[in-house]
Amino acid sequence: NVCLPMPPESVAMILFQLDLKGIACSRGSACQSGSTKASHVLAEILNKDAIKKPSLRFSFSIYNTKEDVDYVIETLKG
């Protein structure tokens, strides 16, 4: 899993644009799923400002290729 804090004002649009490009991701961390509290895991690794930002979560497996990951990165840069 990769969890990236995003600017609050643009996270919904980024999520929408990624979906249009065939990239599946989720909002928030897996540890936070179904909870209104911040993830205790992310609280240990992120600073206080980053933990307050909404985040996008990408999950990868052994079936993803380097090209898949590169596509996500290039799309996020785009």
Q: Where are the domains of the chain?
A: 2-77
Q: Give the residue among 56, 69, 63 at the shortest CA–CA distance from 16.
A: 56
Res 35: pLDDT? 56
CB 3 within 8 A of CB 26: no
CB 31 within 8 A of CB 59: no
Q: Give the residue among 3, 5, 1, 8 at the shortest CA–CA distance from 51.
A: 5
How many residues are listed for the chain in this entry? 78
Res 44: pLDDT? 75
Number of H helices, E strands in the chain: 4, 3
What global pTM score does this model have?
0.69
Q: What is the pLDDT of residues 23-72, one digit of tens each?
A: 999 886 555 555 566 667 777 777 777 767 778 889 999 999 999 999 99
Active site residues: 31
